[in-house]
Each structure stands twice: as structure tokens, then as C-alpha cells.
Structure 1
Amino acid sequence: MAGLGITSCPLRGQVDPRALRFTAAATAAVLAVVLLTIDAVRPLALGLLASQVAMYGFTAFVSMHWSVWAQLFARVIWPRIGPVTALEDARPARFAQFIGFVLTAVALVALIVDVDVVGYAMTALAGVGAVIRATTGWCPGCQIYVLVRRLQHRADHSPAPPVPGASPSTIPAQTARWGGDRPLPLDPTVTARPPARPTARRRPRRRG
């Protein structure tokens, strides 16, 4: 596999779950340092937080496989532990990275404008999600992605709303017509029949 140039994942749409846990552990460490140094060395903490915002944005919008942590895992750790037995879909993980991007971006702006309570809360929330992912493998952001997809699926496959004042079996009238002047049958069990043609009347013969 190394000869093929494969790094952390052989497919772009999939990712090694161990790389995700390693990335989450590194992210949690960065956010912990931010929370511990924000009062003592504020410029350093803001710089670290800004770098984490950039990291989240890169993995969410560009690639999960070419981030700093993913490349570090692929080049240093992965050759020593061997290939993974099963890969994960990268879309839930990228959605979770997008959530982290939003949280840390809000935290960065809040700390810059001296709204420290919001900054602490958003940073801590992103850090807790990263710790959960790193220690247990369970991804809160991925579960939100699955829930959103289920809601979208239900919305796309929901039945049409009933017509006001009509019975549930009533179907809106159709404008298309078949044959003559009769509309198409709305009930699929009804067999459409062409309109009967008027028969010409024969004139009685006069007897001479």
C-alpha cells in the first residue's frame, strides 16, 4: 500500500477512524492550552485558537486527508500500526469539523471583542466534543449529521398535504383529457373507455 502512495485513507470519500481519533486528541490538546493560557498569555491563546479555526475550516471545506494532523498520522503513526480493517464515511466527520469550525470561530470573535464568557463556553464545547471523539470513538457531530439526513429523507418522502374540504381519497382534478370531452379517470382501478360514437339514423325507404 505504501508503494501506491496511500496515506491515511485509500479513498477520498472514506477515512481511517483511527486518524479521526488522533486528530480529535490533538484538537482537544490545542483547545485545552487555549483555555489555560487565555488569561495569562492572551495573544498566544488567540493565535492558537485562530490556527484551530483554520484547521477546522480546512478539514470541513477542503480535505480530511491533507490536514496537518491527518498527514502526521499517515506518515508517522500509520506505518507502525498497519492498515485499518474498516473505513468510515468522511461526510459525517466533515460535518462534525464544520460544527467545530463554527464554534471556534464564534469563540475567537467573542474573545477578540472581550466577550470572554461566550468565548470560554464555545471553546469548551468544541473541546468536549473532541475529547469524547478521541477517548470513545463516538462523534457527537456525526450523530447530528445522521439526524439531519434522516429529517431530510422524511421531508422528501412525506405524502402530499390533503386538499381542504376533501376526503383523504380525493385526488385533485386533472386538466388533461382523453379522447373526447371526458377527463381522465382519477381512480386507477377505473378502466378508461372511449366515448361512444353517435350512430347515424337510417331514413326509412319510401314505398312506391
Structure 2
Amino acid sequence: MVDPRGLRFAATITAVVLSVALVTGNPWVLLAQLVVFAVGAVGGVRRAPYALVFRRLIRPRLGPPATTEDPAPPRFAQAVGAVFAAVGVVGFLTGLDVLGYVATAFAFAAAFLNAAFEFCLGCHLYLFIRTTTARGARA
């Protein structure tokens, strides 16, 4: 189980990094965020760099979380973010800047929704897929 405050912290940092990538069109900034997404998707959200910062520097100053969350939906969200970041990096590096900006903007929008409103778009997509595939298996 994971602390939802850490997930929101990570989404805030992610939104800042993605906004820098959007403003500058810098593929290397986006590539760095892609690596962060990939670590979270492959290694789990507890091992993601922003989660480590939260756990070591911020969480000790806070009380225990009121609730915890299943790490599977945020891990899926990290994978979705990695896909969008990868498409953005490819777009920027191949001269298809529109593709780079659009993919980065989608990733930014999802991170911003999580950071500002605690609405994890990738998590909801994960739950939707799980629900629809579970229903399909029963039919």
C-alpha cells in the first residue's frame, strides 16, 4: 500500500517537469521524465525517484496517512505516462514537434489533474479496464 500524499507530491513534480518540457520543447527534459515514469512503471511507485524524495524528506515531517492506496493503479498510470513521454520524445527528436507538444500536453494534463484535484486519470483508466475485463470474463 502507498501513501496517497506521496502520489500527489510526485504528480506535482511531474507537472512542473512536464510544463518545463512544454515551454522549452526540450526533448532531454522530457526524456528525464520518461525515465522517472519507467522506473515507477517497472520498479513500482515506491521505487520511483519522486517517491524516494517524498519518503526521505517529506513524510517524516508528516503524521501517518489517514488512508493508503493500492499501488497497482498508480503503477499503471506511470506506464501510461511513459508511453506519452516516449511519443513526445520521439516527436521532438524527429522534428515532428507537433507530436512532441501534443503528447507532452496530454501527459501534463493528467499530472496536473492528479496534483491539483487528486484525480488520477491513469488510475481511473486502470480501474475501468479491470472492471470491463472482469465483466467480459463473466459473460
TM-score range, shorter chain: over 0.9
Unaligned segments of structure 1, at least 5 residues = 1-13, 39-44, 159-208
Q: Partner residue of 1:163?
A: none
- Work out the CA distance in 2 between the residues paired with 1:145 and 1:18: 20
* Aligned partner (choices 15, 18, 23) of residue 5 of structure 2: 18
Q: Partner residue of 1:110?
A: 91
CA positional deviation for 1:63: 1.9
Per the normalisation by structure 2, the TM-score is 0.97
* Aligned partner (choices 100, 118, 123) of residue 137 of structure 1: 118
Residue 113 (structure 2) pairs with residue 126 (structure 1): no
**Rg comparison, structure with higher value:** 1
Question: For residues 150-175 of structure 1, what are the alpha-carbon distances to aligned partners after superposition, in whole Å with 9 as ceiling and x for unaligned?
Answer: 111111110xxxxxxxxxxxxxxxxx
Letter in structure 2 aligned against 1:61: V
* Aligned partner (choices 77, 86, 93) of residue 67 of structure 2: 86
- Work out the CA distance in 1 between the residues paired with 2:57 and 2:51: 10
- Work out the CA distance in 2 between the residues paired with 1:34 and 1:151: 35
- Count of residue pairs the alignment pairs up: 139
Q: Partner residue of 1:162?
A: none
Per the normalisation by structure 1, the TM-score is 0.65
Question: For residues 49-79 of structure 1, what are the alpha-carbon distances to aligned partners after superposition, in whole Å with 9 as ceiling and x for unaligned?
Answer: 1111111011011121122211111111101
What does residue range 27-66 of structure 1 map to in structure 2 within 5 Å?
27-38=14-25, 45-66=26-47
**Paired residues of 2:44 and 2:71 also in contact (CA < 8 A):** no
Q: What is the aligned-residue RMSD (CA, Å)?
A: 0.8
Structure 1 or 2: more helix by fraction: 2
- Work out the CA distance in 2 between the residues paired with 1:153 and 1:107: 32
